[in-house]
Amino acid sequence: MSDSAPALLTASELVVAFNDRVILDHATLALHEGDRVGLVGRNGAGKSTFLKVLAGQRAPDSGEVAARRDLVVSYLSQEFTLDPKKNVLENIRDGASHVLGLIAEFESLPANSKRHEQLEERITHLDGWNLDNRIESAMSHLGTPPGDRDINSLSGGEKRRVAMCRTLVSRPDLLILDEPTNHLDPEAIEWVAEFLENFGGAFLVVTHDRWFLDRVTNLTVELAEGRFYSYEGGYTEYLLAKAERQRAEAVVEHKRQMFLEKELAWVRQGPRAQRSKQKNRFERYYETAAQAGPVVEEDMELVIPPPPPLGNRVVELSNLAIEFGGRTLFRNFSHVFENGQRIGVAGRNGVGKTSLLKAIIGDLQPTEGTVKTGQLTKFNYVDQSRLQLREERTVIDEVSDGTEFVIWGNGKLSLRAYLKRFLFSDDRINLQVKYLSGGERSRLLLARILKQGGNFLILDEPTNDLDLNTLRVLEEALIAFPGVVLVVSHDRYFLNRVCTGILAFEGDERIAYSVGNYDYYQEKKQRTAASATDWPSKKSPEKASSGRDVLPRVQPVGNKRKLSFKETRELDDMENQVYAVEEQIGRIENLFADPEFHKTHATQTNALLAELAAHKDKLNQLYKRWEELEAIKTAS
């Protein structure tokens, strides 16, 4: 947060409570010009409530929000509304109503009026003359429906993209965004990230997309126990700084407990010292005992029920093709799933990801090709709708389905013990679903679905609406799962942390498979594209007359020569070396992401940072060496 920059909006001593539950407890936060703030916290912590207070859509119980004069704020809420009487384009243009109003006033005034000149400067500052082009660009990149579509005919995801587009085209002084990446595919998320990077105003964003937070924010604010805690940098820097803060708090608490134990022993001995000294010592003891210790965050112990063993054949896809609505989604796709694989499925919306999942489990007959499933393979499919919770039922009734136990490997686990792993205390277990927070609903859905077991787990967009702590626990459970995991997600951080391979829908009816996580897939894709751009295919002089093209060529390294036997072996093994180093980088980054880091690895912080830097340096050297060897191979 840039305290030296002028303040745009200041929230002071805010208090918001729902019945006896305090959401904001005299919380204070200021937003300044140039701020790029990511707001994080558990589901139910009050993030969306705070955004509504800032946007003027909800009044706090006490405290105040002071805004700079003439401040233009644009707010994307999770419960957005669109005008059903207007089409898509008209709703989007409503986002720039303040600009359109200025333009209308400008056109109604004589050219020689002073107000006319003031309006022209203001419209230019807001890029109002380029409004139609900006709207067209945003609609294209966000994949909104055509401008003449009726709002009532849109799906929930389409409405979300229209609302997102309406918010961004306004070019306000302050953007307030609540889950802006929901229902967006990777390309659209990339565009929104670039938009925010180049945005001239300030913004405050709530999102569970950790890659997005690292990409666009320079300040992370955590809302916990009704108060704000600020950390410089994006999500990764926040994790490191929070681990250090918790370590320091743990040291202070340990000293406090040691003092109390020492003083308690003294009190029990009944010393016969001077009365005034006894009185002072008693007062210091009670004062220290009354101090509150640091809040210990409780995490869900999400453990997926142990799966039955898999056979030699898991699932084999051979020359698979699927057509839908007269359009071929993909063709000629073959893949053999093996035990222990965690495969991420990535691609734009509507390319056929869900259709592939349904073909694998047998719910959709492929147009061409075969799906062979092993006799011991048992699917557990979590679809996008994630089923519907029944509002009037209690938490335990929603999971029980008439049983009191969950099958746990060769044994059983009581429903209450199972639900406690999902952070449901005894008083919440008997609560009706309609009284649960958003985070509790997500955890309940996971509990109900995952108890079904299975050794081939298929998850379609499992990260939607899960808070960051729950996401981390889900990731750890999937990493430890001893079966096969197939997961569709637009969450790059999630794909990087969990997956051992990526199935990417690349367009042109093609699905590509890449070993490694999503970032590694992207790097390889970019290298391939760069090679095609930098070294285009040429017709060699000796073959020009025949008209046959030679392979893409690279610039030779020094004199022409062939790879030695040792270099050939080195090149063949280069991808494995790169992947091994990336795994080490991921291992260390996962340690930093662990809330228990300060308890288990705090003394190793500097050593781990040095090790992380060394691995990243080695990775760069490997890529450089890889390019050198490829250049020699191609030029020889």
Give the residue-averaged pLDDT of 110-128. Answer: 84
Query: What is the per-residue pLDDT for 540?
Result: 39
Residue 79 confidence (pLDDT)? 80
Question: Which of 214, 205, 202 is CA-nearest to residue 179?
Answer: 205
C-alpha to C-alpha distance for 605 and 247, rounded to whole angstroms: 11
Cα–Cα distance for residue pair 80/160, rounded to 1 Å: 8
Tokens (6 digits) for 93: 């243009």
596, 243 contact by CB (below 8 A): no
Q: Which residues contact 550 (CB under 8 A, 6 or more apart)?
A: 537, 538, 539, 540, 543
Supply the pLDDT for residue 36. 94
Pairwise CA distance, residues 384 & 464, whole Å: 9
CA trace torsion 454, 456, 460, 465 (10° rounding): 50
Burial call 160-192: b when 16+ CB within 10 Å, e when fewer = bbbbbbbbbbbbbbbbbbbbbbbbbbbebbebb
Place of tokens 């938490």: 395
Q: What is the pLDDT of residue 263?
A: 67
Q: Which residues pair with 77 in a beta bridge?
A: none
The pLDDT, as a whole number, for residue 366 is: 93
Q: Residues 495, 489: contact at Cβ < 8 Å?
A: yes
pLDDT at 394 over 60: yes
Residues across the chain: 636
pLDDT digits (tens, 9 = 90+) for 435-463: 887 667 777 877 887 777 789 999 888 87
How far is it, in rounded angstroms, from Cα 423 to Cα 440?
A: 8
Residue 487 bridge partners (DSSP): 344, 459
Q: Are residues 323 and 308 in contact, defined by beta-carbon separation less than 8 angstroms?
A: no
Q: How far apart are CA 384 and CA 387, in angstroms?
A: 8
Mean of the per-residue pLDDT values of the chain: 81
Q: Is pLDDT at 392 greater than 90 in this prediction?
A: no
Whether 422 has a pLDDT exceeding 50, the answer reads yes
Distances (CA, A) of 87 to 96, 227, 346: 15, 41, 31
CA-CA-CA-CA torsion sign (499, 502, 503, 508): positive
323 three-state secondary structure: strand
Residue 299 banded pLDDT, cuts 50, 70, 90:
low
pLDDT band at 531 (very low <50, low <70, confident <90, very high): low
H or E element, residue 488: strand 484-488
Burial zone of 368 (CB within 10 Å; 0-12 exposed, 13-18 middle, 19+ buried):
middle
Give CA–CA dist 222/50, Å, rounded. 12
The pLDDT value recorded for residue 149 is 92
User: Is residue 538 pLDDT above 50, yes or no?
Assistant: no
Mean pLDDT within 75-92? 90
Is the pLDDT score of 546 beyond 60?
A: no
Q: Which of 268, 301, 303 is nearest to 282 (CA)?
A: 268
Where on the phi/psi map is residue 431: left (φ > 0), alpha (ψ -120 to 50), or beta? beta
Distance CA 240, CA 210 (A): 14
Output DSSP code: residue 348: -
Supply the pLDDT for residue 553.
38
Question: For the packed helices 131-142 and 186-197, what is the interaxial angle rounded to 10 degrees?
Answer: 140
**Contact criterion met (CB below 8 Å) for 339 and 310:** yes
- The C-alpha angle with vertex 472 and arms to 469 and 475, in degrees rounded to 5, equals 150
Alpha helical stretches, state H, 451-564: 468-480, 492-498, 518-534
| H helix intervals, 499-604 | 518-534, 565-572, 574-593, 597-600
Task: Please tell me the distance from the alpha carbon of residue 537 to that of residue 136, in angstroms, as a whole number.
Answer: 36
The whole-number pLDDT of residue 486 equals: 95
